[in-house]
């Protein structure tokens, strides 16, 4: 597929999806939504891909919804549109217009190279891991546009940083930097801008080459589903997952490479 609003590449087991409207700080529009969804599907179905990185071209990660698109919504009052489920067998909570990242069976790293606002911030929050460049700026933005806590951010943000901190960021829509985002535990790491691309690539390659793809797939499913489970249910689910893991090729290789003191050769099976 020829993409209009993104760049897509695969190297060393890592698929990189780059939002590519740098002149608009990668503002989100329908074409970008279509392209990202297609690229995520391509990465999910490609056995050569073990990790996915989502980032932005130029100075920004994603400045939120394109204002031209927002003006169009004013007349229609359109909210979430119905989309084809990502995977009808997975958790139904992860089948909405923007909530499908947890259903992608590979880790998604949001590499936040610059400003992340509104919907751009939400897309980063649906990723599994967030790495930010030093000085990157964030805002929820919605209250300053007369909007609401859109697309599940009212569920995501309190789980990441707590109720009161989430309320502050949503109510005020104030701008905060990656350094505060790290203090709030909204991002996992902050990296100097000069080292950002190198550090993100190194971390993604480590996940792609040093750990079991099967483990990543199963753990991602478990930790996202656990957000809707009791402790007992999470234990029961993990107990049901353990016997197949003991029979897997990756378990055998995990033991063998440790005993033989060599680099692993995981297959994901």
pLDDT at position 74 is 52
pLDDT at position 8 is 96
| Phi, psi angle pair for 197, to nearest 5° | -60, -40
- 114, 146 in Cβ contact below 8 A? no
For 6-207, CATH gives: 3.90.226.10
Would you list the domain boundaries of the chain?
A: 6-207, 212-260
pLDDT at position 109 is 98
Whole-model pTM: value is 0.91
**pLDDT bucket at 73, cuts 50 / 70 / 90:** low
* Mean pLDDT of the region 247-255: 87
In angstroms, the CA 151 to CA 224 distance is 17
In angstroms, the CA 196 to CA 132 distance is 8
- Per-residue pLDDT reduced to its tens digit, 202-248: 999 999 999 999 999 999 999 999 999 999 999 999 999 889 888 89
In angstroms, the CA 78 to CA 64 distance is 17
Average pLDDT, the chain: 91
- Per-residue pLDDT reduced to its tens digit, 83-135: 777 777 888 888 888 999 999 999 999 999 999 999 999 999 999 999 999 99
Q: Does the structure show a pLDDT above 70 at 72?
A: no
């Amino acid at each position: 597929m020829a993409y209009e609003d993104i760049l897509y590449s695969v190297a060393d087991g890592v698929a990189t999806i780059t939002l590519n409207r740098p002149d608009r700080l990668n503002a989100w529009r329908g074409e970008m939504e279509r392209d990202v969804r297609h690229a995520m599907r391509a990465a999910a179905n490609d056995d050569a891909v073990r990790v996915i990185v989502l980032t932005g071209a130029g100075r920004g990660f994603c400045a939120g919804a394109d204002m031209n698109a927002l003006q169009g919504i004013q007349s229609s009052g359109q909210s979430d549109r119905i989309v084809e489920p990502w995977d009808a067998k997975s958790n139904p909570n992860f089948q909405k217009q923007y909530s499908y990242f947890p259903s992608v069976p590979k880790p998604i790293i949001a590499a936040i190279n610059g400003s992340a606002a509104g919907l751009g911030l939400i897309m980063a929050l649906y990723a599994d891991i967030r790495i930010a460049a030093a000085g990157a700026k964030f805002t929820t933005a919605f209250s300053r546009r007369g909007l609401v806590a859109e697309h599940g951010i009212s569920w995501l943000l309190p789980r990441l940083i707590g109720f009161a901190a989430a309320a502050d960021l949503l109510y005020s829509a104030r701008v905060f930097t990656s350094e505060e985002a790290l203090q709030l535990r909204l991002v996992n790491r902050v990296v100097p801008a000069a080292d950002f691309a190198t550090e993100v690539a190194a971390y993604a390659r480590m996940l792609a080459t040093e750990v079991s793809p099967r483990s990543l797939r199963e753990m991602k499913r478990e930790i996202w589903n656990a957000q809707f489970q009791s402790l007992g249910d999470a234990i029961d689910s993990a107990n049901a997952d353990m016997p197949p893991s003991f029979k897997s090729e990756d378990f055998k290789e995990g033991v063998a490479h440790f005993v033989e003191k060599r680099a692993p050769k995981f297959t994901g099976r």
